[in-house]
Structure 1
Amino acid sequence: MSSDRHVPTPRLELPGPRLNRLARHERIDWHHHDRHQLIHPGSGLLQVETPAGSWIVPPQRAVWIPAFTDHAHVARTPTRMRSLSFPAATDPVGGAQPAVLVVAPLLRELVAALAEPDPGCTEAELATLQQAAADRLARAERLSLHLPAPVDDRLRAVAALLHRDPADPRSLREFGAAVGASERTLSRLFRAETGLTFPQWRTRLRLHHALDRLAAGRSVTATAADCGYATPSAFIEAFKAAFGTTPSRHRAAP
C-alpha cells in the first residue's frame, strides 16, 4: 500500500543501468530521481509503491517510473532488481504516470545485458544496447494492473481490512456498516478516487496478493482459497484475464 507522507523525499542518484540484490522483505524507502527509471525483477517478486498506488511485479513485468516520481520498493522474495535510467528529456514510454509494461524476451535480454554487462562490453556497445532497449520500450504493451490507493479515511479502512484478509467475503454494504458509511457513499468514492468499481478494485487486490502467495510457494488451490475465490477454476480464469497466463505457467516462467 502507498504511504501517507507529507514530507519531501530524498533525491537519489541514478547514473545508469544497475543491479540491486534484495533480500526477502528488504525495503528501499521513499525517494525520487531526476531521471526516468525502468524497474525489472530479473528474478523474485518486487512490490513498487507510489503515492497513487502499488504494483506487485513478477519477472514477466516491469514498472516505468517517470522522473521526479516518489516511489519505494519492497522485495516480497529474494529479488534481483534490475533498473535502467533515461534522461528526463528522453521518454520512450510516454505519459506522466507510472506504467506496468509487458517484458517480452528481447527486452528482458536487453535489460539483463545492460544491468549486468559482460566485463568486455565497450561503451559504444552499451550505448547501442541502451538505444535498442529504448526502442523496445516504445513498443512495449502497457497493462492496467496497478492497485490505486484510496484517500478517504473510510475507504482506507476498507482497504486495510481487505489487505489483512483478501478472502473477506463481506459486501460493500457490510463494509460500510463496519466503517460508518453507506454502501452508496463508498461505491461513489471508490469510483471517484480509484477509477474502479469496488468489485474491480477488490479483484485487483486479490490478484496482487495471489502473486505474493504463488511466489512464496503456495499451491494454486491454496492461493485461490486464501484470496477469496470459490473455486480454483474461478481463480485461474481471473488470473489469466489479468496476466495472460495461468497461475501454474506464471510460476514456472523464468
Structure 2
Amino acid sequence: MPDTRQPRGSAGVTSEVWPSGGRHLWPSGGASAPQSHSRGHLVYAAGGVLTVHTDRGTSIVPADRIAWTPADCLHRHRAHGDTDMRIVFLAPSLARRIPDRPAVFLASGLAREVLLALTGPPRGDGGSAAQAYSRGARSRLLRVLVDELRETREQPLHLPEPQDDRLRSLARILSQTPADNSTLAELGRAVGAGSRTLSRLLRDELGMTFHELRTQLRIHHALVLLADGHDTTRTAHACGWANPSSFITAFTHIIGTTPGRYRTGGAGRRDR
C-alpha cells in the first residue's frame, strides 16, 4: 500500500492498491499486522464487518458506516466474515476537516456511492477504478465525500481504550463474556473497585454509563456473530439479551436497522 510502514499482507488477502486508496478482500478472521500511514484514511466494508484497533480504542465498521483513522496512527484491521474492505487516503487539506482521532461516521447513500466508485474493481484495461477519473474529478469526489461525513453525526461504534487498569479489566470482562449479566457491584469485586468508583471512571474516561458500555460491547459482539452467519435468536442469547425482541430494539437503536435486515444485507450495503 502507498505511504505505509507495514509488512506484507496476511496470506489469503487479495489486494488492489493505487496512490489514492485500494481494495482488500479479506477471508473471515483475516487480520493485518500493526501499521501506520503518512496520510489519514477512511475504510468501508462493502461486504462483511471490519474492526479497526488502535491504541486509542476499537472501531467497528458494519454496513453503512465509514471509519476514520488519522495519519501516523498505529492500527490494525480484522475481518469478521469474508470482507470487502475499501480504503481511501485523504490529503492533509481534507483530513484536517475530520476529527484528529479515530471515529466512525454514518455512510450516507451519496458517501457510499462516491467511496465505491473510487475503489471499485480494476477496469478492463488493467487500470484502477480511480484512474477512470481525472485528477480534478477525483479531488471533487473526495471533497463531496468529506462534506457528506461532516453532515452526519459520529456513530457510537468507536470505544475508547480505558486508561485506568480497573476500568480496562472491566471492559475486558464485558467483552470476553457478553452473556454475563453480573451487576456493576459484582464485577467491581472482580476488578478491585466499588461501583461508585467505576461509575465515576466510566463517566470521566469514556463519557458513558455502565449500561451504555455493556450495550456497546454486546452490539460489537452481535455484529461479529451476525457476520459469521448466526441467526437473531442465537445472537441475542449469546450476547446476554433475555429475548430476541429486546435485542432487536437495542440493535436497531444503535445500528439503524434490524438484525435480520442487517444479516441479509438489507442495511444498504451495495456490491460493486
TM-score, normalization by structure 1: 0.88
Percent identity for Structure 1 against Structure 2: 40
Q: Matches of residues 168-187 of structure 1 in structure 2 within 5 Å? A: 168-187=180-199
122-131 or 182-191: which moved more?
122-131
Does residue 121 (structure 1) correspond to residue 168 (structure 2)? The answer is no
Q: Is the 8 A contact 2:52 2:78 kept in 1?
A: yes
Runs of 4+ residues over 4 Å off in structure 1: none
235-244 or 139-148: which moved more?
139-148
Q: Is the 8 A contact 2:179 2:238 kept in 1?
A: yes
Offset at residue 109 of structure 1 (A)? 1.8
Counterpart AA for 1:168: D
Does residue 222 (structure 1) correspond to residue 234 (structure 2)? The answer is yes
For 1:207 and 1:162, the matched residues in 2 are separated by 12
Offset at residue 111 of structure 1 (A)? 1.1
Q: Could you give the per-residue CA deviations for residues 134-179 of structure 1, whole angstroms, max 9, x where no partner exists?
A: 3433334421221222222222222222222101111111111122
For 1:188 and 1:133, the matched residues in 2 are separated by 38
Task: Report the count of equivalent residues.
Answer: 245
200-209 or 132-141: which moved more?
132-141
For 2:29 and 2:188, the matched residues in 1 are separated by 32
Does residue 242 (structure 1) correspond to residue 254 (structure 2)? The answer is yes
Q: Is the 8 A contact 2:51 2:58 kept in 1?
A: yes
Secondary structure at the counterpart of residue 46 of structure 2: strand
Which of 75, 95, 98 is the aligned partner of 1:71? Answer: 75
Counterpart AA for 2:187: F
- CA 142–156 in structure 1, closer or farther in 2 if over 3 Å, else same: closer
Which of 33, 52, 57 is the aligned partner of 2:56? Answer: 52
For 1:139 and 1:189, the matched residues in 2 are separated by 31
Q: Is the 8 A contact 2:41 2:90 kept in 1?
A: yes
Offset at residue 92 of structure 1 (A)? 7.0
Secondary structure at the counterpart of residue 242 of structure 1: helix
Which of 81, 84, 97 is the aligned partner of 1:80? Answer: 84
Q: Is the 8 A contact 1:34 1:88 kept in 2?
A: no
Does residue 207 (structure 1) correspond to residue 211 (structure 2)? The answer is no
For 2:28 and 2:250, the matched residues in 1 are separated by 27
For 2:50 and 2:98, the matched residues in 1 are separated by 23
Counterpart AA for 1:196: M
Alignment partner, residue 25 of structure 2:
21
For 2:231 and 2:110, the matched residues in 1 are separated by 30
Q: What is the alpha-carbon root mean square deviation over aligned residues?
A: 2.2
Alignment partner, residue 89 of structure 1:
93
104-113 or 33-42: which moved more?
104-113
Runs of 5+ consecutive residues of structure 1 not aligned to the other structure: 1-9
Counterpart AA for 2:91: P
Alignment partner, residue 151 of structure 1:
163
TM-score, normalization by structure 2: 0.82
Counterpart AA for 1:142: E
For 2:207 and 2:149, the matched residues in 1 are separated by 26
Runs of 5+ consecutive residues of structure 2 not aligned to the other structure: 7-16
Offset at residue 204 of structure 1 (A)? 0.4
Secondary structure at the counterpart of residue 132 of structure 2: coil
